[in-house]
Amino acid sequence: MSTNGIIVWLRRDLRLADHPAFSAAVKQQVPVYPLYIWSPDEDHPWAPGGASRWWLHHSLSALAATLRQHGSRLIIRQGKADPVLRALLSETGADTIYWSRHYEPQRLAVDNPLKAELRGAEYTVKSFNASLLHEPWTITNKSGAPYQVFTPFWKACLAQPEPKAPLPTPRKIPAPSKWPDSMAIDDLKLLPDIPWDKGFYDSWTPGEQGAQAQLATFCDDIMARYKDGRDQPGQAGTSRLSPHLHFGEISPRQIYDAVHTAAHYQSTKGLVKGAEHFLREVGWREFAHHLLFHFPQTPVQPLRPEFEDFPWTHDAKLLRSWQRGETGYPIVDAGMRELWATGWMHNRVRMIAASFLVKDLLMSWTHGAAWFWDTLVDADLANNTLGWQWTAGCGADAAPYFRIFNPVLQGKKFDADGTYVRRWVPELAHLPDKDIHSPWAASADTLHDANVTLGKTYPHPVVDHKAARDRALEALASTKS
């Protein structure tokens, strides 16, 4: 293929290693123009939330620095994709565009017609898979339909050929003799005006190098105990790779390859248990994107139609109590406060907090999905939708309607010594272990000694769990009739 220059249009693939579009462009030995277009209106109603915008700012900054090290630059433009791309094609004389495919409905609504229009104008356009092990249309059941249950879906994935080895980082990216104009990353105004993000800096290192460092930490220090440790929010037992994956600072192929290497994989012996369980979680991410591609209505509508008329309630005051981490249930409040402070919440606690909103408070899962979308640094439309519909019982592979997490029992089981609660709900720090997850059940003397005054230093429970559970079961049973 003969070309005068190639624009590599970057979206959520902010890395150089295992980047098929970059690798293909570099092989052509013509000028390569790395481009990022900030166009939040095109993503409406799922424009990046506040936490995601924070991450994006720092991820773009990291990528720009890496590109400079490889003899290139990051071009920043703002606006709708079509006019921005056409303008840059005209300015540079490039005649080819490469990009990485995405599978969300609002992305496809832009990408598919854009690709056709550009090709019609006699430009070369090529897209690549850079974010999944298996693209959504490649995994189907025996009748050719999409899977709606995880276990057979993952078995079908495992039956596929092994993922190809990750592509290396290009040594040098061919540069043009003259670079086109670019906005500064600061001009995008992605960072908050009010500095609510102080805790983010202590928790995260956005960018490709940060992703690789986090993967190494997981493989070296965490993976062997992942099977049990992943459910213990008081310890470092998870990979914390989700925001890096969402922004494409690391690929699932890189993770798959590193996990196999770290586990000393041998086909005759299989993976160590920690690696098996972790790769299964990578499989859940694949499943989420599979579902969103095949059922694009699910970010706003339940997959199971019997839930369309579910008798949700709405109480703005109770919703705010949940959002602020002031429900009176310590494990729920700890999770919601961790989320606000760091842009992330431990996965076990996500399930507990989500169950509390949709079942104890009987509020629609869409309220929770919207809050997580704005506050999570790993806010991913596919994962967010799958998780909330699973909890509400209205999605694929949904939890049985009668599964309602008891926040006290969950806290005692997974945070037995209260380490997690004491960190994020410090006003309860001096309660003994046996009372840390149900302070309302502690004696007056115990509360006094711990300097806890219910209703003042820490709220009373906003609902009685037993009564709320009975109400939820009655409402949920109505969907079975």
Q: Looking at the annotation, which residues are catalytic?
A: 281, 284, 312, 347, 365, 388
Q: What number of other Cβ atoms are within 10 A of residue 262's Cβ? A: 19
Angle in degrees, 0-180, between the axes of helices 407-414 and 330-342, rounded to the nearest 10: 70
Q: Could you tell me if 125 and 115 are in contact, meaning their C-beta atoms sit under 8 angstroms apart?
A: yes
Q: Which residue has the tokens 């997580």?
A: 372
Name the token pair of 18. 């295992």
What is the maximum alpha-carbon separation in the chain?
Answer: 81
Residues 6+ positions from 342 with CB-CB distance below 8 Å: 199, 200, 203, 204, 377
Amino acid at 462: V
| Residue 273 CB coordination number (10 Å) | 15
Burial class (CB in 10 A: 0-12, 13-18, 19+), 264: exposed
Q: What does the alpha-carbon distance between residue 289 and residue 246 come to, in Å, rounded to a whole number? A: 12
Alpha carbons 146 and 156: distance in angstroms, whole number: 11
Residue with tokens 């017609």: 113
CA 50 to chain centre: 14
Of 147, 82, 155, 69, nearest in space to 120 by CA = 82
**Cα–Cα dist 326/313, whole Å:** 19
Q: Compute how many other C-beta atoms are within 10 angstroms of the C-beta atom of residue 309.
A: 9
Q: Which residue has the tokens 């009685």?
A: 464
Of the candidates 423, 398, 325, 314, the one whose C-alpha atom is nearest the C-alpha of residue 358 is 314
Cα–Cα distance measured from residue 413 to residue 432, given in angstroms and rounded to the nearest whole number: 15
Taking the C-alpha atoms of 228, 230, 232 and 233 in order, what is their torsion angle to the nearest 10 degrees?
180
Give me 42's structure tokens: 């095109």
CA dihedral (17, 18, 20, 23) in degrees, to 10, reads 40
Q: 29 phi and psi, to 5 degrees?
A: 55, 45
